[in-house]
Amino acid sequence: MSSVFEPKKIIDLEQIIGDALAQKIPLEILGAGSKRAVGQPMVTAQQVSLVSFSGITLYEPEELVLAARAGTPLMEIEKALDQFGQQLAFEPVNLGNMLGSKLAQTIGGIMATNFSGPRRIQAGAARDHLLGVEMVTGRGERIKTGGRVVKNVTGYDLCKLFVGSYGTLAVATDLTFKVLPASEKTRTILVAVEDEETAISAMKDSLNSPNNVSGAAFLSREISKRSKVSYVSSANASIAAIRIEGSAPSVEARCCALKKILIVYGDIQELHYHNSMQFWKEVGNVTPYVDKVGVVWRISAAPTNAIEIVRKISNNLAIEFYLDWGGGLIWLRVIEKRNDGGAVEIRDAIKGHGGHATLIRANEKIRSQVPVFQPQAEGVATLSQRLKSSFDPTGILNPGRMTYSPGPEHAN
Amino acid sequence: MEMPGPDPEIIGRRENIIKALQAFIPANSIIAEEEGLRPFECDGLTAYRELPLIVVLPENADQISRILNYCYQSGVKIVPRGAGTSLSGGALPLADAITLGLSKLNKIIEVDYENRCVVAEPGVTNLAITEAVEDCGYYYAPDPSSQIACTIGGNVAENSGGVHCLKYGLTTNNLLGLKMILMDGQTINLGGKHMDPGGYDLMGIVTGSEGLLGVITEVTVRILPKPPTARALLMGFNSSEAAGKCVASIIGAGIIPGGMEMMDRKAIHAAENFVNAGYPLDAEAILIVELDGPVEEVDYLTDKVSEISCMAGATFVRSSVNEEERLLFWAGRKAAFPAVGRISPDYYCMDGTIPRHRLPEVLKRIADAAVRYGLGVANVFHAGDGNLHPLILYDANKPGELESAEAFGAEILKLCVEVGGVLTGEHGVGVEKRDLMETMFTEVDLMQQQRIKCAFDPKQLLNPGKVFPKLHRCAELGRLHINGGEMRFPNLPRF
C-alpha cells in the first residue's frame, strides 16, 4: 500500500511535489478517486489526495461565476447552484456506477477528465466552462491562468491544457468556472424508429432545425429495455430521443415544431420533467452498461460516420452500442472476451474516419496491454510529450496514465 | 514600446533570402520593393509601424511548409498576418522578419450541413463563412465588429469574440478542427469534425496564441441554424449604475440574451449624430438587449425584459418592430468606433474585462483619470460579459498627447486587473499590452507560458517580440531548479 498525502494548504502541496521532484518519486494525483480506473495503469509510490482542498470560495449568481477548491464534491456545487436556479451547463456525468465506484466525484476530477454530458452538443464541453485555474506544476511551481471573467485572451489559455490532462501536467488547487441558468422546463420527444439509420436522420433533422435541441440520442430496442423510465423500457422499439429546454412558451413552441419534423420517422411520445431528467441521466452516466460485464469504449466521431464505424466493428466483434450527441458519441460495449478488449477491431474501423476511441472500462490487465487513449500521429504525439515535459520535466505526475508504453513482453 | 533590435546579419542576407525563396515561391508572391511593403507596415494598431524585411504571400499549404522549413533552417523570423485588423499589434512587422500574409488562402473547402460544419482556409473572412451558409438557414456565431475584413485564421489566432459571445461563445467554443504548420515545416492535424478528441487539447492552446505557435492552414468551425426571430430592445437610463443593475437583474432572472451592449453618454451622442439610430440623447447610458429564438420565446422574453428594465429605472424602452429597426439599433453600436473617430482627431481603443458589478466604480475612476490626463473618453461595453472598450480621445498632432493617451490606457487596464478583471477581453496582448503582462501574471506564470512557446517553436522564430515582456532562451526555461535534493518536510502528515 502506497502512502497517501492529504495536503491542506497549497504550500504543503508545493512541498510534497518539490520533495517528489528531488527524490524522483512518482505521484498518483487523486480527487475522490472515482475515475481512478480510467487510463493506463500506473505504478506510483505515493498518492496525493486533494480532498482537503474543499469548499466553494466564490459564487456570484448574477455574474454567472463560481470558484471552488479542486477537491470540492460536485454535489456541494450542484446544491449551491440549485438554490439560485443555476447549473453547470455541460451536464457533468457520473461514470462511477459504470466503473464500479461509489465515490462522490470532485470538481477537480471532472475538469481533469473533461467528460461532458448530453448537453455538450448545445452548451459545450467541460473545457468550455473553465475560466481559471490555480495549480502546482510538476516543477513544484505554483502558477495561475485565466481569471473569473468569460472574455479573456490575456496570455495562453492554459485552462484548455489542464482540462482533460488527467493530472499529468499539474495539480489544480482552485478552479473558477462559468455557470448558467438552469432551464425552467425540459421535455423529451421519443420517436420509435426502425433502425439506427433512421435515428441518425431524425437526430440530424432536429439538430439542423432552429429549435435549439439540447440532447439527441439513439438507443436500440435491447438497450431501451434497461431504462427506469417506463415509457422507454416499455416502448418495445429502438428509439431516437430529442430534448428541448428553456422557458415554458419556448419549449411548447419548439416541441410542436419538432413533432412535425419527427412524425415521419415513427410514433411519438413525450417525456416531461422527471422522466426526461431521469432518461438523460441514464444516457450521460452510461447506465445501460452498469449491470453488464465487458469492456466499454467511448468513441467520438463525426455524426455521419457513426453507423459505418459501428458496422465495421460489429463485422468482427460482438458488441452493443448506443449513440449520444446526435451520433457524435458512440458508447460501445464489447460482449465477447478479447485480450485487447477489441482495440484492434475498433481502432481499425475508425481509421479514415477521423474519430477517437478511448477505452473507458476494462480490467488492469487489458488496460496495460493496449493504448487506452487513441494513438496520436507522430507530430502531435511529439508535441504532446514536449508539453508534458514543460510542465513536468521528470515525469512525476501520474506517470504513464495517458501514454501507452508496451511492456517487455510486447516489445519486438 | 521597444521591439527586439533587428539582427543586422539577417538584414544583410536579404537578397539571398529572396533568392532562396524564389526557388519554390512564384515571383509575384514575393514583395520586396518599398512601395509594395508599405501597406504591410502596420495592422489595426496604427501607432506602431515598421517595414517588414520582405512580404511573402504563399498560395497553398505546401508553400507555407517550405517557407517555414527554410526559415527554420536558416534562422529567419516570421510574422504571420491575416487581414491585418489586429488592434493590439499582433501582426506588427519586424525589420528582420518575413511577413507571411495568408490572404491567398481564401477558399471555403467544404460546407457540411449533415455534420453542421464548414472547413475553410485561413484567409477566408469571418463574414464569408456566414454568407456561404446563410441561404440554407445557418450562420457562424462569433461576430467580431471587423467581421467584413478579419479572417478566420486571425480569429483563431486571437480567439475573437463579438457581441454575441455571452450566449454563443468565443472562437474557441466554436472550433472543431485545425490544420497547422509548425515552424520546422511539419504539418499537424488537430481535432476534425468530431468533438472532444482525447489527449492534450492542443487546439485549445493554439486558439488565442497570437501567431506564436504555428501557422494555421485550415479551420473547421461549427455552424448553427439561424434563430427564426431576433428582436432588439433599446433602453435608456439616468446612470450607468442603473443600466448595470438592469443587466444583473436580467441575468439573475435566468435570461441569457443573444447580445447585451451598453454605451455611455459620449458614445451615444457620437453614434446618434453619425447614424441617427434613434438613441435617447438625454440618457446617461443606453442598453441594447437582443433576444433570439422562436417567436413565442422572443415575445415572452421581450415582456419579461421590459418589465425588468422598468423596475431598474429605465427612462426609455423601445422594442424593435421590424428587422430594419433592429438593424438600426445595432448600426449605432457597430458604428461607435468610427463615430467617435468623427468627434476626435484620433482615438485609442482599450479592451479590458471586469467583473460586471464593478462597472460603476470603474467608470467613475476612468472619468476621474480623464480629467487628470486632460483627455476625453467614450465608453462602449459588452455588458453581458464585462468586456469594456473605453475609447480615449486625443490628437496625435499635439505634442505629448499620444504618450498621455497611452499612459491613460495603461492605467485603465491596470484598474481592470485590480478589480478582478483582465488586460484584454478580445483584442489580444500583441505588442500593445505586452509590457503590462506582469500586472496580471507572476514571473513564474509567464515562464511556464513561454515553455509552451518553446515546445512549439524552440528557436523562437515565430512572431517574436509579441505577448511576452521578457524573452528567455528556451534552454534557460527548461532548466529545473531543485532545492537540495533532500526531503525538506519529513514531518508532513502521511496517511
Residue B286 pLDDT greater than 70, yes or no: yes
Closest by CA to B78, choosing from B88, B93, B61, is: B93
- All 3 cell numbers of residue B90? 499582433
What residues contact B27, with CB distance under 8 A and at least 6 apart? Answer: none
C-alpha span between B419 and B355 (Å, rounded): 7
CA distances to A158, A320, B152, B450, B456 from B480, in Å: 20, 49, 38, 15, 19
pLDDT (average), residues A395-401: 97
Contact yes or no for B452 and A387 at CB 8 A? yes
Tell me if chain A has a CB within 8 Å of the CB of B33: no
Residues of B in contact with A182 (CB under 8 A): 254
Per-residue pLDDT at B487 exceeds 60: no
- A402 neighbors A167 (Cβ within 8 angstroms): no
pLDDT tens digits, B220-255: 999 999 999 999 999 999 999 999 999 999 999 999
Tell whether B229 lies on the interface with A, counting CB pairs under 8 A.
no
Question: CB B427 to CB A153 under 8 A?
Answer: yes
Alpha-helical regions (H) of A263-363 = 273-284, 306-316, 343-350
What pLDDT score was predicted for residue B493? 46
Per-residue pLDDT band at A311 (split at 50, 70, 90) = very high
What whole-number percentage of chain B has pLDDT above 90? 89
Q: What is the pLDDT of residue A408?
A: 52
The pLDDT score that the predictor gives to residue B74 is 97
> Which chain A residues are within 8 Å of B445, Cβ to Cβ?
143-145, 155
pLDDT in tens, A187-210: 999 999 999 999 999 999 999 999
Distance from CA of B269 to the nearest CA of A (A): 27
How far does A154 lie from chain B, in Å, by closest CA? 6
Of all residues in chain B, the one with the smallest CA distance to A165 is B200
- Contact call for B422 and A114, based on CB within 8 A: no
Q: Is the pLDDT of residue A71 over 50?
A: yes
For the segment A259-281, the average pLDDT, to the nearest whole number, is 97
Q: Which residues pair with B293 in a beta bridge?
A: B229
Residue range B132-161: average pLDDT? 95
Question: What residues in A contact B87, CB-CB < 8 Å?
Answer: none
Mean pLDDT, chain B, rounded, equals: 94
Closest-approach residue (CA) in chain A for B173: A128
Q: CB of B441 within 8 Å of any CB in chain A? A: yes
- Inspect the interface and report whether the beta carbons of A157 and B205 lie closer than 8 Å: yes
d(CA B126, CA B180): 18
CA-CA-CA-CA torsion sign (A269, A273, A279, A283) = positive
Shortest distance, CA A374 to any CA of chain B (angstroms): 7
Res A41 pLDDT > 70: yes
Q: How confident is the model at residue A410 (pLDDT cuts 50, 70, 90)?
A: very low
The cell for A77 is 456545487
Distance of CA A138 to the CA centre of its chain: 24
Contact B243, B235 (CB under 8 A): yes
> If you ran DSSP here, which 8-state letter would residue A91 be given?
-
Residue B164 has pLDDT above 50, yes or no: yes
Query: Per-residue confidence at B483, pLDDT binned at 50, 70, 90?
Result: low
| 8 Å CB contact of A154 and B424 | yes
pLDDT value of residue A316? 94
Adjacent-strand bridge partners of B120: B108, B219
List pLDDT tens digits, range B433-447: 999 999 999 999 999
Whether residues A127 and B208 touch (CB distance < 8 A) is answered with no
Task: Provide, as residue numbers in chain B, all residues whose Cβ is less than 8 Å from the Cβ of A128.
Answer: 169, 172-173
Which of B112, B180, B201, B382 to mutate against chain A (most A CBs within 10 Å)? B201
Of the candidates A149, A152, A204, which has its C-beta nearest B114's C-beta?
A: A204
Q: What is the mean pLDDT of residues B356-369?
A: 93
Chain B residue numbers with beta carbons less than 8 Å from the beta carbon of A81 are: none
Q: Dump pLDDT digits (tens) for B393-420.
A: 999 999 999 999 999 999 999 999 999 9
**Which pTM does this prediction carry?**
0.96
Task: Extract the C-alpha cell encoding A1.
Answer: 500500500
Q: Is the dihedral of CA A37, A38, A44, A47 positive or negative?
A: negative
Q: Any chain A CB within 8 A of the CB of B246?
A: no
- For residue A270, is pLDDT > 80? yes
Sheet of A56-60, strands arranged across: A56-60, A65-69, A170-178, A130-137, A142-146
Give the pLDDT mean for A98-115. Answer: 96
| Contact A43/B at CB under 8 A | no
pLDDT grade, residue B494 (50/70/90)?
very low
Verify whether the Cβ–Cβ distance B421 to A209 is below 8 Å: no
Q: How confident is the model at residue A412 (pLDDT cuts 50, 70, 90)?
A: very low
User: Is the Cβ pair A384, B199 closer than 8 Å?
Assistant: yes
Of A257, A358, A383, the CB nearest to B198: A358
* Chain A residues closer than 8 Å to B294 by CB: 210-211, 250, 253-254, 257
Rounded CA-CA distance A236/A230 in Å is 11
Å between A62 CA and nearest CA of chain B: 5
Span A330-346, pLDDT tens digits: 999 999 999 999 999 99
The answer, yes or no, to whether residue B458 has pLDDT greater than 60, is yes
The pLDDT of A120-145, averaged and rounded, is 97
Residues B420, A141: C-beta atoms closer than 8 Å? no
B295 contact A CB<8A: yes
User: Strand pairing of B285-293 and B259-264?
Assistant: antiparallel
Task: Provide the ipTM.
Answer: 0.96
For the record, the C-alpha cell of B469 comes out as 515582456
**Residue A404 CA to its chain's centroid (Å):** 20
Q: Which three cell numbers stand for residue B467?
A: 505577448
The region, left, alpha or beta by phi > 0 then psi within -120 to 50, assigned to residue A400 is: left
A166 phi/psi in degrees, rounded to 5: 50, 40
Q: Say how far apart CA B324 and CA A67 lie, in whole Å.
A: 42
Nearest-Cα distance to chain A for B89, in Å, is 14
Closest Cα in chain B to A245: B297
pLDDT exceeds cutoff 80 at B492: no
At B148, give phi and psi (nearest 5°): -65, -35
B69-120 confidence digits (pLDDT tens) = 999 999 999 999 999 999 999 999 999 999 999 999 999 999 999 999 999 9
Backbone angles phi, psi at B190, to 5 degrees: -120, 130
Is B68 at the interface with chain A, CB within 8 A? no
DSSP-based three-state secondary structure for A283: helix
Name which of B48-52, B324-328, B339-343 the model is least confident about: B339-343
State how far the Cα of A113 lies from the Cα of A402, in Å rounded to an integer.
11
Considering only residues 183 to 202 of chain B, which have any Cβ-Cβ distance to chain A shorter than 8 Å?
186-190, 192-202
Q: How far is CA B158 from the centre of its chain?
A: 5
What is the C-alpha separation between A36 and A192, in angstroms, rounded?
A: 37
> Any chain B CB within 8 A of the CB of A114?
yes
